[in-house]
A = this chain, B = another copy of it.
Amino acid sequence: MKKINRIAILTSGGDAPGMNAAIRSVILAAHHYHIDVIGFYHGFNGLICKENINQTKCLSLVDTSNIIQRGGTILKSARCPEMQTEQGLKQAAKTLNNNEIEALIVIGGDGSFNGLIELKNYWHGQLIGIPGTIDNDLDGTDFTIGFATAVNTAIEAIDKIRDTADAFERIFIVELMGRHSGHITFNVGIACGAEQVLSFENFSIDDKEAKLQQLADEINTAQENRHSSYIIVIAENLWPGGAMELAKELRQKANVDCTACVLGHIQRGGSPVPKDRLLATKMGVAAVQAIIEGEHCIMIAEQNNTMCHINLAEAVKHHKVVNQQLVEAQENILALTAQNQY
């Protein structure tokens, strides 16, 4: 067990509900081990800015009060292109040294972790990542902080859309966040009882025309056999032009009337659900413990409800694939709702 005096923490990349709960937990755990915590503002920019005015804060127990339930991040976040330049990385290392930081905890996604991996070449302190992204696409951890809340928010929205869809027996196409992964899309699709789930895992752009025809046929059959609503959830960045364009094409080419909804940024905010608060609390503690255990260049992860450590390079090598059981559940069983008469 290593004696550590001072660590730093920052939040980077897209914000995710639960980031504040993780900050709180890091402060509490660090206090327990008599370690000072410096917060840097605005992601990696806090390390780059030459004048350190308003870019850092010494975080104490007072700062943990009443934030476990808040969305966003009290340390702010931002993109930081300078971290892709040698000059920026050197500046970051210098700032950390000037502040006598022994370890840096970054809460963020794969872009942020790539920044950490680069920083390793310029700074010799310990680097620890906490996976905070609604996309749940980091390899090696079952869940990332913010994912459960984003799924919850999307489902609450689609439950509302279902009311209107049912009233009008209408077709809705709902576009969900997730960058290049279908984690949100599949979880939301199944949990809201969507008639169709379209994501990277079950659709290739090469099959676009065929899929369009298939969707039109299924919708027409469904509309004839029963009179009911029909909801398609679709991953962002999947269909060229997104949900709006898919709706237009279904209308034009297949004579199917439908409405597109892009849920957008409401999926990022909001009070974190219990799962994210617990995950963030456990990961914050684990991050501080990893530091005193001398760990370096790792991501804190949860596997099978247990905390563990993953090499940072491993975490960002591939996007985590969607649980195959979920994909099959949707394909074999829930597709029923579209294919059958009732």
Q: Which residues does chain B contribute within 8 Å of A277, judged by CB atoms?
A: 155, 190-192
Task: Type the 1/0 row for A274-298, where 1 means its CB is closer than 8 Å to any CB of B.
Answer: 1101100110010000000000000
**Number of chain copies forming the complex:** 4
Q: Is A193 an interface residue (CB 8 A)?
A: yes
Q: Is A29 an interface residue (CB 8 A)?
A: yes
Known A61-B340, A191-B277, A342-B61; contact A153-B148, beta-carbon cutoff 8 A: no
Q: Is A309 an interface residue (CB 8 A)?
A: no
A window 122-161: CB within 8 A of B? 142, 148, 151-153, 155, 157, 159-161
Q: Is A62 an interface residue (CB 8 A)?
A: yes
Assembled-state Cα–Cα distance A333/B307 (Å)? 15
Distance to closest chain B CB from A298 (angstroms): 18
Is A305 a contact partner of B307 (Cβ separation < 8 A)? Answer: no
Assembled-state Cα–Cα distance A293/B299 (Å)? 41
Distance to closest chain B CB from A79 (angstroms): 9
- Give the number of residues in A that approach B within 8 Å (Cβ atoms): 85
Q: Which of B76, B226, B261, B281 is the one whose CB lies under 8 Å from A264?
A: B261
Assembled-state Cα–Cα distance A187/B28 (Å)? 18
A-B contact pairs, 23 of them (CB 8 A): A14-B164, A28-B336, A60-B342, A61-B342, A71-B160, A72-B162, A73-B167, A76-B166, A148-B274, A152-B273, A157-B266, A159-B269, A161-B266, A161-B269, A163-B269, A163-B270, A172-B265, A191-B274, A191-B278, A261-B266, A281-B334, A282-B325, A305-B323
